[in-house]
């Protein structure tokens, strides 16, 4: 089992580069302080504890990539969004992982 399978609970390889190039909605679920210290260009900061109050921001997005410091909070965010009917959510893991694909 590779590290992605362990982190994301799937063996399906997601092409983050292609999805980002297609204009995915990039959501950093870390705290505002963490976001201010460094973040992915073009990403929006919606802290994990605010996801349920900000669901309208996720509507009509083709693909949503959530990420955080290590992948834990983004996994929770993905679950919350899926419980609210969003089927196009990808856990990008850490913000550094997602950042390598953003030009």
Q: Is residue 39 part of a domain?
A: yes
Contact 45, 61 (CB under 8 A): no
Task: Determine if the pTM surpasses 0.85.
Answer: yes
pLDDT tens-place string over residues 38-81: 999 999 999 999 999 999 999 999 999 999 999 999 999 999 99
Q: Is residue 69 part of a domain?
A: yes
Lookup: tokens for 58: 């996720």
Average pLDDT over residues 83-87: 96
Q: Is residue 32 part of a domain?
A: yes
Q: Let me know if 68 is a catalytic residue.
A: yes
Q: Is residue 3 part of a domain?
A: no
Strand partners, 91: 66
Q: Is residue 28 part of a domain?
A: yes
Q: How many domains, in total, are found in the chain?
A: 1
Identified catalytic residue from 68, 77, 81, 89: 68
Q: Is residue 2 part of a domain?
A: no
Domain that holds residue 21: 15-99
Q: What is the CATH number of the domain that holds 57?
A: 3.40.250.10
Q: Is residue 5 part of a domain?
A: no
Q: Is residue 53 part of a domain?
A: yes
């Amino acid at each position: 089992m590779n590290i992605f399978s362990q982190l994301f609970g799937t063996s399906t390889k997601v092409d983050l580069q292609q999805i980002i190039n297609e204009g995915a909605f990039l959501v950093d679920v870390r705290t505002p302080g963490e976001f201010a210290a460094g973040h992915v260009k073009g990403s929006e900061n919606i802290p994990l504890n605010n996801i349920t109050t900000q669901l309208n921001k996720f509507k009509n997005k083709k693909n949503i990539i959530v990420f955080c410091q290590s992948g834990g909070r983004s996994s929770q965010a993905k679950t919350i969004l899926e419980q609210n009917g969003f089927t196009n959510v990808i856990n990008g893991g850490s913000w550094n992982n997602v950042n390598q694909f953003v030009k």
